[in-house]
Structures are given as structure tokens and as C-alpha cells.
Amino acid sequence: MGNPLSRKLEDNDAYLRKMLGIGTSFDVGVREFYIKNVKINLYYCNSLTDTLIIIELIRELLLLGEDDVYLHKQAFEIINNHLALDQVMIVDDLDEIITLILSGLIVILVEDQLKGFSLDTRNYPGRQPSEPETEKVVRGSRDGFTENIITNVGLIRRRIRDPLFRTELHQVGSLSKTEVCLLYIEGYSDDKILRTIRNRIKNIDVDEIVMADKHLEELITNQTWNPYPKVRYTERPDILAVHLYDGLIGIMVDTSPSVMIAPTTYLEQLQHVEEFRQTPFVGSFLRTARTGGIIISIFLVPTWMLFAYNPEYLPDFLKFIGPKEEGSIPVIIQILIGEVGIEFLRMAAIHTPTAMSTALGIVAGVLIGQIAIEVGLFSPEVVLYVAVAAIGAYATPSYELGLANKLAKLVIIIVTFFFNIWGLIGSTVFFILFLAFTNSFGKPYLYPLLPFNLKDFINIFIRTTQRRKNTRNNNRN
């Protein structure tokens, strides 16, 4: 039923002071003054608001003066007409008022009134838009999403000036009240998928989602032990804008510079914005090379291991494949140590200051690897193939997809070791079937391969020209 305002301003003030911690929290406060002999309270959180705007608002109200007792009953309307701000809402619930104040809005309560004013003066702290580290391009825009949801929506508005572009705001978390924004173009997006995502967000019952988008992803996708991402992440507004025009839905969470795109497929996550910044032929070449590198990153090492243990499977012209010096450690252990070691190197690079990352690469990649070969612990071919597979994995545009492929590769390696060629065939078939039975909000994960769609399948690997017909949905007419 809510917690409605009382006509007694002192009762409202006592409740807000207690719940907001006014007097304890230094950045939350209240300003009391009189307008037309009516007491006014202005509540704020100065760490999230624009102080200059508040000063101008107070100055405008103070110019009304304290006289004219006969205007007591019209004070609310007079104040409303002198709020020189574009976004003004009427509020009447104390709990809602608390959420608004802690979201960076200011609230004005008037004596003997059952409603007050909420004014949007938010000025969230944060950095300026800059190019994302994980989605760099040679040609293209250099702006990227920040941790400020208002700034992020503005970056999309700048690119999509369609009147049917929608930005639905929701709050998730009974305590954190984290703002979540659904972005879509009405008439382009699938209504069924949109309703599914909206309902799942509304039905979330948690205290907080401080971990932002990743926490929300697990809640709306029901992610359990499946390592493959059911949404696509991006930090580039141009990528999100393109996908919105393709009928997909963006899910933006305040305090996160990444935006989720849903639904998604395995093959869609292999595309990169750089392919669209080159000519169609060059873009198709880049896309094909990247796809080949990802396939190599998964199957190169287990295939080589199969031939290393079973050289009789090799034709005569490939007899050179296989370790000439096996080393002191079994090949399977060498491979597993190499794969895990690559992950150690990746994690170390993330936590190493930029000035030291080059030295880290030299030490780990050159000294350790070379010395391990010279002392006989590792076979040179093991180091070679593990390194080539790692390079192919780093070519994966999606960071989450690359990690999932890594886990899949380790499973294929272990199964192949125990069951030889049938292990490789069986684990590969299981890998494909596993992806085939995965879906993202009802969309098959291997589309357009399964179910097969020739036109969309060709477009996945061949970058078509930008000239295309109008694809507006009939619902827009």
C-alpha cells in the first residue's frame, strides 16, 4: 500500500531523517526555509547531484518572498510554477521519496500538503567516454560506454533518432534499487522475447545486484553450469545501435560500462566491428580468418595429441607430425600444464600494471618456455601447438565465449586421451549437440546452422555491402 505523506511536515521530516541518516551521513541533508510563510523542506544527496542547479532553484524560490499570508493555500501551485527545471515529478510516497533522493534527485516537501516535488538534478561521478580496451578498431568511433547510465543512453540517442526508440527504466534489488534500462526499437524487436525479458526483470527478488550486469545476466537467463554466454556483451554504442536495428534488445545496468544484447547465438558472437570498417571483401576475409582461428583454438591441440599417441593414423606426407623429443613428462600432462599455464599468464597480465606487462610477457613466454624445453620438461611441439591455439582463442571477439571454448577444449582433450579417435569424434559430436540444445531466450544457439537458414548462414561468413532494402516491420505503419 505504500507509505503516504502526512500533512504534518515535521512527521515526514522525522521519518526521512531517520531512514536517510541525516546528521550521520555527511552527503545527505535537508535545507529548511519559508516561501509565502509556508515551511519548505528540500532534501538532497550532494554526492550525486549538481550543486549549481540546486543553488539556482533555491534562489528562484527565495525570490518569491515570505509575505502574502493570503496565498498560503496557493503556495503549492506557486512553487510548482517557479521550479525552473525540465524534469519535475509529483510524489506522494515516503519510501519512493527515499529511493529518489538516494538516486540523486532532490525532493521538495511543502507544509500541509499530501504531495511533494521530485526534481532530476543528477550528476553522477564517472569518467568520460573512451574507446573500450577489449573492442578496439583501426577505423571508427573512439567513444565507449561508461559507468553512468544517463551518459550511456545519450550515446545511443545520438545514433538512433528514431521516434520509436524506447528506453524502459526498471529498478532491481529491494535494497540497492539498481537502475536497469531496456533498450529496443518498437516494431523491430520480437514482442514475445521483449515480454519475456521484461517479466524476468520485474520478477527478480534479490536484495542487491551490486555486481551489475553479470549478476543480472545470471538472474534473467537462469544460468547454471552451462559455460556459454546467453547474452552478448559490448562496450561500444555503435555495435549496440546496429543490433537494435536488427531487432535485438539491449539491457543496460547502471554502474556498468558493458551492455547486454539479447538474444544471441554462437556464430553472432564471432563477428567484430572491424569487419564493417573495411570493404566487403576484406571484411569477409577477416571474418573467415577469425572463424578459422577460433576453430583451431578448440580442435588443434586434441587433434595433434591424437596423432602424437597414434602415429599410424597419419598419412605418409604428414609423418613429421608428432614429438621428436617427448620430454620427462607425459604429453597429456604437458598439454594440460600448458593450457592452464596460458590462463595463469592471462590472469597475471590482467592484474599487472601496464608498464610491467611487456616484461611479464617476455619472462613468461620466452624465458620460462625456452628453459622448460632445454631442460627436457616440455616437448617443443607441445609449446608450439598450445601457443598457436592460444592465439586463436585471443582472436575470439567475445571474452566470455573464449573462456567457454577453453573449457570445451579441455574436455575434448581429456576424452580424446582416454578413448583415442572415438573420443575425439564423440566429444566433438557431443560439443555440437550441446550447443544445438542451448538457446538464448528461445532462439537456437547454433542458428542459422541449426535450424539451417542458407541466407543468414552465408551472411555470417560473408560480409555483405551496407546497401540493403528497408527492413521496417509492418507494425510500425
The pLDDT mean for the chain works out to 85
Question: What integer is the mean pLDDT of 337-363?
Answer: 72
What's the whole-number mean pLDDT along residues 338-349?
Answer: 81
Listing DSSP states for 65-118 in one string gives: -S--GGGGGGHHHHHHHT---S-EEEE-BHHHHHHHHHTT-EEEEETT-S-EEE
- What value does the CA radius of gyration of the chain take, rounded to a whole number of Å? 29
Torsion of CA 133, 243, 292, 136, to 10 degrees: -20
More confident site: 464 or 444:
444
Instruction: Determine how many CB atoms are found less than 10 A away from the CB of residue 468.
Output: 7
**Rounded-to-integer distance, Cα 146 and Cα 42, Å:** 30
Q: Is the pLDDT of residue 447 over 50?
A: yes
Q: Which residue has the higher pLDDT, 155 or 378?
A: 155
- What is the number of other CB atoms lying within 10 angstroms of the CB of residue 464? 11
pLDDT of 361 reads: 63
Length of the chain: 477
pLDDT tens digits, one per residue of 103-131: 889 999 998 888 999 998 888 877 888 88
Please tell me which residue, 376 or 57, carries the higher pLDDT value.
57
334 pLDDT higher than 60: yes
The residue ranges of every structural domain in the chain are 9-119, 149-264, 275-457
Where do we find the cell 564517472?
126
pLDDT tens profile 226-281? 899 999 999 999 999 999 998 999 999 998 999 999 999 999 898 888 888 888 88
pLDDT in tens, 210-233: 887 888 998 999 878 889 999 999
**Peptide bond before 263: cis, by omega within 30 degrees of 0?**
yes
pLDDT interval class at 314 (50, 70, 90) = confident
- Given pLDDT bands bounded at 50, 70 and 90, which one contains residue 53? confident
pLDDT band at 71 (very low <50, low <70, confident <90, very high): low
- Check residues 131 and 424 and name the one with the higher pLDDT: 424
Q: Which residues of 119-152 are buried (b: 16+ CB within 10 A; e: fewer)?
A: bbbbbbeeeebeebeebebeebeebbbbbbbbbb
d(CA 386, CA 208): 41
Of the two residues 476 and 352, the one the predictor is more confident about is 352
C-alpha cell of 216?
Answer: 543480472
Is the separation of the CB atoms in 420 and 375 below 8 Å? no
Mean pLDDT of the region 314-341: 79
**pTM score, whole prediction:** 0.84
129 vs 160, which has greater pLDDT?
Answer: 160
pLDDT band at residue 58 using 50, 70 and 90 as cut-offs: confident
Above 50 in pLDDT, residue 475? Answer: no
